[in-house]
Amino acid sequence: MSRLQYILIFAIWVAFGSFIQPVQAQFFGGSFRSTAQNSPPNTELVVARLRFNSNSFSNYPGWSHNYPGSDRHLNSFLERSTSIDVEEFSFQIVDLSDEKIFDFPFVYLSEPGEMLLSEIEVRHLREYILRGGTIIMDDFDGTRQWDQMESQVRRAFPERVFVPIDENHIVFRAHETLENLQAMSQYVPGGGITYYGIYTDDGRLAIMAGHNNDLANFWDWYGDGSMPLKPSTDAFRLGTNAVIYSMTH
C-alpha cells in the first residue's frame, strides 16, 4: 500500500471518528500507531501498560506513547536474557480505574506528567502499591511535568514523598549491570536523568520515576537505527532490572 493510500485511509478514519471505542490509531512518520487492546498469551509475566485519566487533548495521549513497539521489544529482551516465562506479546492495556490492575505485579506508566486522576484511580493507585505492585514511570521531563505527576501521586500517598534512589540500590543491578546511569541522557530532553522513588513502610521501592528520561523511545526505536545501541542496551537493562525487582521484592 502506498503512502498516499495510507493518508487517504487515515483521513477517512478521522472524518468518521473512532468506530470502535477501545481502538485508536495515529499516523506518524509513515506508519500507524495503534492503541488497540492486546490479547496476551498465558505466561508467568504479563506487563500492564497503564491507561489513566489525562489532561492531554492529543489524539495520541501520553499513556500510549511508543505502544506497542516498546512493549514488544522489552518483552523480547526479557525472554532472551532471563528465565522468566514471558513472550513478545505478554502485555496488556489496563485501566487504572479497573480492578484488573491488581492482577499485574508490574506496571509501565508513560507520561505521568499528564496524569489527572479520578477519585477511583487515586484509590486504586494507593491500593495497588499497598498490595505489593510496582510501577515504573517514564517519559516525562521538566518542572511542570514533574509537579503535575507529584501532585497526583500525593493524592494517593499524602504521607509519602519522592526521594532520590541511591545509585547502589539493587533495582539498578537486580539482573543486569549498567555502566553509567547517565549514558542515555544526551539522547533525551531535560538534561541529566534523575531517578526518584516512593517506598513502602518495609523499604520496598514501589514507584520508580525516571525524570528527564524516555526508556520507551530506546525500547521502541533501537531496531530502526533511531537510537544508538549503547544507550538502548542500558535502557533494556534498566527495564529488565525493574521487572526482576518487582517480581522478587
Hey, where are the domains in the chain?
Answer: 1-30, 37-248
Whole-number pLDDT of residue 33: 58
CA 125 to centroid of chain Cα atoms: 15
Residue 224 confidence class, pLDDT cut points 50, 70, 90: confident
Whether the pLDDT of residue 7 is over 50: the answer is no
Instruction: State the Cα–Cα distance between residues 227 and 217, nearest whole angstrom.
Output: 8
pLDDT in tens, 43-95: 999 999 999 999 987 778 999 999 999 999 999 999 999 999 999 999 999 99
**φ, ψ for residue 128, nearest 5 deg:** -60, -45
30-39, 170-179, 216-225: the lowest-pLDDT one: 30-39
- Reading the block at residue 60, the C-alpha cell is 495520541
CATH number attached to the domain at 37-248: 3.40.50.12140
How many H-runs (helices) and E-runs (strands) does the chain carry?
A: 6, 9
Residue 223 confidence class, pLDDT cut points 50, 70, 90: confident
Average pLDDT over residues 235-240: 97
Residue closest to 105 by CA, chosen among 172, 165, 44, 63:
44
Q: What is the pTM of this model?
A: 0.86
Contact 96, 112 (CB under 8 A): no
Whole-number pLDDT of residue 220: 96
